[in-house]
Amino acid sequence: MRANRQRSLAQAMRHFLKLLALTKDELTHLLSESARLKAARQQGTETPTLAGRIITLIFEKPSLRTRVSFETAITHLGGTFLFLPGNEVGLGWRETLADFGRTMSQYVDAMVLRVFHQSTLNELARWSSVPIINGLSDEAHPCQALADLLTIQECFGEVKGKTIVFVGDGNNVAKSLSVGCTKLGAKFVLASPPGYGFDEGFLEEFRHSTGGATLEMLNDPIAAVRQADVIYSDVFTSMGQEAEREERLARFAAFQVNGALLAKAPKHVKVLHCLPAHRGEEITDEVMDGPHCVAFQQAGNRLHAQKAVLEWLLKR
Ligand code: CP
Ligand code: NVA
């Protein structure tokens, strides 16, 4: 009885698991808040909206940007962070996710998790009475996508009407970005080798969440980038897929973002990469270090976008 009551309380809680769950208005709000918080940081007018709040980061996979930008964001906003390696807390194997979620909810105000399986987040969100933030799963990377959208907005004034071409694997980063771009009125194109496009399960969720919007999936990177305002690159082998690395390197060889591919795109094109970059694999030094690339501005925007998410979930 008590467990059921607690579970229904947990279900009413707002989480940040996938952009699929956000309305266009919520996404627009988060984006404008990200820009406001970036300006506030630059002008020294930030306020400690997370004072007295404790946010824990529980990571099953390595991270540089997500961990450091969350820890920095929480510190800037006056909160406290607590980092827990996933293997030390035994997420999902030392005790059930239901018991883990209900226990952690007694101590902390929010949890940021980086997990192998989206199902871990979904199950925790059923039981946690504090917000759960997806810091990357096999299916989604919504914090990254929000920073990507902020970067595109900074580059072009708005996201609406732009064409974003993701060259590579139809992975977690591509999925979240496709949803964000589409909800904000941009055109999203995925250029990937046959068999590495978006899966039907995701496409079904995408159609449902965007009211039947469409995206383009091509197998020819050159044809795809001819129309690009943005070319987006990510690793060919995501964390958890290491056993497929050799096969993927071969299958994705024509999908490297290099000078020759860039030459086929419009002159104003911007290149984004979520990082870490495997230079010489999915992207070359020439492009990473060239004038079109805004990957470090993009990495910086993780900080501001995540502040917006934290405030949206936690501000009193
Ligand atoms: N882009 C990104 O999430 O980087 P990390 O894996 O270093 O956190
Ligand atoms: N697609 C990559 C993104 C890393 C930030 C991965 O999941 O490993």
pLDDT confidence tier of residue 13, bands split at 50, 70 and 90: confident
pLDDT confidence tier of residue 211, bands split at 50, 70 and 90: very high
* Total domains in the fold of the chain: 2
Q: What are the structure tokens assigned to 71, written together?
A: 């820890």
Residues classed as catalytic: 114, 141, 144, 234, 274, 302
One domain for residues 176 and 164: yes
Q: Give the mutation target among 141, 178, 298 for probing the ligand 2 site: most ligand atoms within 8 A of CB.
A: 141
Looking at all shown ligands, the one closest to residue 274's CA atom is 1
Could you tell me where the DSSP H helices lie in 131-188? 142-156, 172-183
pLDDT confidence tier of residue 4, bands split at 50, 70 and 90: low
Ligand 1 centroid to 274 CA: how many Å? 7
Distance CA 229, CA 284 (A): 19
Q: Is 64 in the pocket of ligand 1 (CB under 6 A)?
A: yes
Residue 257 contacts by C-beta under 8 Å, 6 or more apart in sequence?
167, 231, 233, 271, 273, 282, 283, 284, 287
One domain for residues 163 and 73: no
Express as a percent the part of the chain with pLDDT over 70: 96
One domain for residues 180 and 225: yes
One domain for residues 162 and 274: yes
Measured CA distances, 292 to 147, 187, 189 (Å): 18, 20, 19
One domain for residues 184 and 240: yes
One domain for residues 294 and 148: yes
pLDDT confidence tier of residue 315, bands split at 50, 70 and 90: confident
Q: Is 136 in the pocket of ligand 1 (CB under 6 A)?
A: yes
Instruction: Tell me the residue range of the domain where 208 lies.
Output: 144-299
One domain for residues 228 and 252: yes
Matching residue, tokens 């580059």: 155
One domain for residues 12 and 149: no
Distance CA 103, CA 199 (A): 35
User: Residue 61 CA: which ligand 1 atom is closest?
Assistant: 6
- 95-118 pLDDT per residue, tens: 999 999 999 999 999 999 999 999
Ligand 1 centroid to 211 CA: how many Å? 30
Please report, for the domain that includes residue 23, its CATH number. 3.40.50.1370
